[in-house]
Structure 1
């Protein structure tokens, strides 16, 4: 059962910055680099947050105000806050059992959790934890058989929102991961072994949990793959560039809500609307794919103005606080998703990390909305200064 009153807040870590620093000191360097890093020179990784922080909100101090209600309706469900947990692959590499920890916290606190196809916990297990309330991010397989089977499994698990990923047509060039030789499981170089020895809590938890694996892909993987064969399998398994011909059959079959994640242009937005998407998530994959790309908040402002009355528009990428959520909602988002901060929370605090991070963000968002005099997240646009 959900327990909305059970909100665990650790006062030692009142900011995402504090969680990040604790996470850095608690997990091996190769795991932290995978979580924290972006592509190329990490320009767009940092631009995402910088541009959000340029948004300015103006308070209304003398109006009648009876308090802010954070609850937000999305696809027929009323969530307790206007943010959810973004999908991240290899969550179990960052902290063992991370997917289960976050799914449980999201369910108990009534916010959406999105599981990645390449997560380390299977959709069936996450569905049991969330009573079918989790969303599923869908990497498009190369074979129709695997595509149909994954969809069938998601349907059987009770998934109501399927999220198609469109912003990974290539593997991002990520220098930190290249340097660390990141693979599944991590390559046992002397450097990586020393990093694991220096982080005994992570190492002992990993030994207890077992080596992280792509749990959703287990039914399709040949046994006894070595590291080089595993990389080849992953490359051959997914048809990475999405297009209208690939989306059409999924839209025809999927009876629930269908969301396109990774929209970054008017062209793709118009295509998404034409193809009957129920919503989009404006995203640049957390600055991990295109260093020369636009910050997500800049894309949001433009596309929300043009298409906000035609579909549900959500955003992730760069949000690190309650004020960032408020800025994004004020800029035209109907909902927001957050990735790295939740993983910092779990890496820093283990089983308590999901609950703490939700409580921290809700507290921050509640404060800024009360400060502004804004009664609901959907009204935040009224407090946006027009000249920013």
Structure 2
């Protein structure tokens, strides 16, 4: 299989599996515990159907959106993800360039392998910095100040990761940073020598946002220990409110899943929230973001920008989320597998396919702009959960 023969998410995933050593592929593809939430994230989109309107004369489509003050050329963006240098030797450089080309938002993670400053040099498009709340409050303040200096547009605090999820695939291979692989894991690296050659002959693996703060290179700190030892499980709404005031700009919470938390985010001055269960990598058994979307939009959608991520594999998934009231939709594995498969060319092909699917879907739906998408365009199936049916009956889910 070659890149030109990749036409959807599953094609990219198969190609990435051929290119990556098993432990790294499973790090991307894996999730917590039984991975039930991971599977549910995509399945949730199949609980409802699109209802198109015809004869609306849709010859041109404007799929642009404005979210958290940022103009995006398409309503899907590249969510911040960690350790991209492991998936391809260009890592975030490739993703930043591709996102800039397609006029959409790109995020750098605290565990990113290029610096905020370098990402800004690569793309002048909207940029978000995703960070974690550390026990070292000085580190938190330093990260925010550095983000301001780098010209970051939006701060995105991840709030669902005060401890690491139980990712059993990684335990089976011994995957960690720095590598401490078991024999089975080492064997998987040995049979994919091209990855190893690229990894060793390009710039060394670094975590620039944490340089000078955390030693990841001496063998003393693994990613799982980073979550367990460095992040602050006592993080509170008061702590976050103080950060929002200090930043004094666009501030987003990623990992919101309840109406109560969404309302608190509004109260403390956040300008955006991302409904997310971390791709199923944290609390297995939690609800999908799509399943929670309608009730949270109903509660706070007129006061804060509501986004979602998790399980998005098609343009029609994006259209369903927008119809329920999401302002934009985050992509994760959707671009990571193409990155692993073919670097920047892979990410660009994936974003182009997504753009075409959204455009085609909007035309077939009779919607020339995103604003024309509404709940009138959706019907939930009778086989949906009892909760959904009850909400339809009592009128809390409106069409």
After TM superposition, the score normalised by the length of structure 1 is 0.93
Alignment check: 8 A CA contact 2:175 2:185 kept: no
SS at match of 1:78: strand
Mean Cα deviation higher: 124-133 or 299-308: 124-133
Alignment check: 8 A CA contact 2:154 2:250 kept: yes
- Partner residue, 2:248: 255
- Partner residue, 1:111: 104
- Partner residue, 1:5: none
Flag the 1:223–1:138 CA change in 2: closer, same or farther, 3 A.
Answer: closer
How far 1:77 sits from its partner (Å)? 2.9
- Partner residue, 1:181: 174
SS at match of 1:56: strand
**Structure 2: gaps spanning 5 or more residues:** 382-399
Say how many residue pairs are matched. 380
The Cα offsets for residues 103-149 of structure 1, whole Å up to 9 and x where unpaired, read as 11111211000111111212121122123732100101212211111
- Partner residue, 1:359: 352
After TM superposition, the score normalised by the length of structure 2 is 0.90
Mean Cα deviation higher: 31-40 or 60-69: 60-69
Does residue 292 of structure 2 align to residue 292 of structure 1? no
SS at match of 2:194: helix
Flag the 1:226–1:343 CA change in 2: closer, same or farther, 3 A.
Answer: same
SS at match of 1:25: helix
- Partner residue, 2:7: 14
Flag the 1:371–1:222 CA change in 2: closer, same or farther, 3 A.
Answer: closer
- Partner residue, 2:122: 129
Flag the 1:158–1:342 CA change in 2: closer, same or farther, 3 A.
Answer: same
- Partner residue, 1:94: 87
- Partner residue, 1:46: 39
Counterparts of 1:130-279 in structure 2, within 5 Å, are: 130-131=123-124, 133-222=126-215, 225-227=218-220, 232=225, 235-279=228-272
How far 1:221 sits from its partner (Å)? 2.6
In 1: Cα distance, 2:171 partner to 2:137 partner: 32
Does residue 48 of structure 2 align to residue 55 of structure 1? yes
Among 343, 356, 368, the alignment partner of 1:350 is: 343
- Partner residue, 2:388: none
- Partner residue, 1:381: 374
Flag the 1:26–1:244 CA change in 2: closer, same or farther, 3 A.
Answer: same
How far 1:270 sits from its partner (Å)? 1.2
**Structure 1: gaps spanning 5 or more residues:** 1-8
Mean Cα deviation higher: 277-286 or 326-335: 326-335
Mean Cα deviation higher: 139-148 or 257-266: 139-148
Among 336, 354, 365, the alignment partner of 1:372 is: 365
How far 1:240 sits from its partner (Å)? 4.0
The Cα offsets for residues 280-305 of structure 1, whole Å up to 9 and x where unpaired, read as 00000001111111111011122112
The Cα offsets for residues 305-338 of structure 1, whole Å up to 9 and x where unpaired, read as 2221121100000101111111111122011111
Among 73, 82, 85, the alignment partner of 1:80 is: 73
The Cα offsets for residues 170-229 of structure 1, whole Å up to 9 and x where unpaired, read as 210111011111111222433223212222221111112245332210121348622457
SS at match of 1:163: strand
Greater than 3 Å deviation, 4+ residue runs: 227-236
Superposed CA RMSD in Å reads 2.0
